[in-house]
Amino acid sequence: MTDQQEVRPARDRVAVVTGGSGGIGQAICQRLADDGCAVVINYAGRPAEAELLAETITGRGGRAICVRADVGDENDVAALFEAAESAFGGVDVVVNTAGIMLLSPVAELDLAVLDRMHRINIRGTFVVSREAARRVRSGGAIVNFSTSMVKIALPTYAAYAASKGAVDALTLILAKELRGRDITVNAVAPGPTATPLFLDGKDQEAIGRLAAMAPLERLGVPADIAEVVAFLAGPARWVNGQVLYANGGVV
């Protein structure tokens, strides 16, 4: 064992991205493919978007396949990883992008909404992380998705932020459990980011207020988040067990 483990070059790395057909997920798939990774685009409800993304990546000389899987279903997730291994020979990077955000004051919260977020944001991240812990090769990386709302604590975000607080805990503990495997485990916590998920139901006044929260005076864009993921997925071998806030300085 050396002081610094040898890491497989990006062109030989394989990345599984859950929620890969969504706004941030698409940007992550494109960025990792541009960096040389083979990409497995997981989707649940957007097959056309996933197929188009795969065609775009392969049309630019990259490697990509699409695999449908419910991240909350352990059999689907096992099949997702098996498809990655069958197509590309193994898995080096897992990015848990899949998630939903449903907003409500606590006093008015429909518990069915809480259960939906629990299944995707908490159970889904656990199921994928469990499979990743079993299969990711030495030198690999697991990147979970949290949210800056855990720290910012805006009204109506309680259930969503609570689900992502669970992701934070999972991330910190899994990083320690993988001692000796040379696998990093980190989370990215975006702030307000211009995606359909985030903008849905917000008027221009609300969007303007959120954009003004950052000292950089704009909303994030998916490429901003993909850049952080690419850092954690490849060169950031000495960043481990951390939650990185990618929010333009919002506190």
Token pair belonging to 5: 């483990």
**Sign of the CA dihedral with 232 first, then 135, 117, and 167 last:** negative
- Cα–Cα dist 164/159, whole Å: 9
Strand partners, 246: 190
Give the closest residue to 186 by CA, choosing from 131, 222, 231, 134.
231
Q: Judge whether 166 and 179 are in contact, CB under 8 Å.
A: no
Distance between CA 210 and CA 204 in Å, rounded?
A: 10
Sign for the CA dihedral angle at 134, 136, 139, 142 comes to negative
Q: Please list, in sequence order, all residues whose beta carbon lies within 8 angstroms of the beta carbon of residue 202, skipping any fewer than 6 positions away.
A: 210
Q: Which of the following is catalytic: 43, 157, 160, 245? A: 160
CB 133 within 8 A of CB 94: no
Q: Which residues contact 55 (CB under 8 A, 6 or more apart)?
A: none
157 flagged as catalytic: no
* Active site amino acids: 160
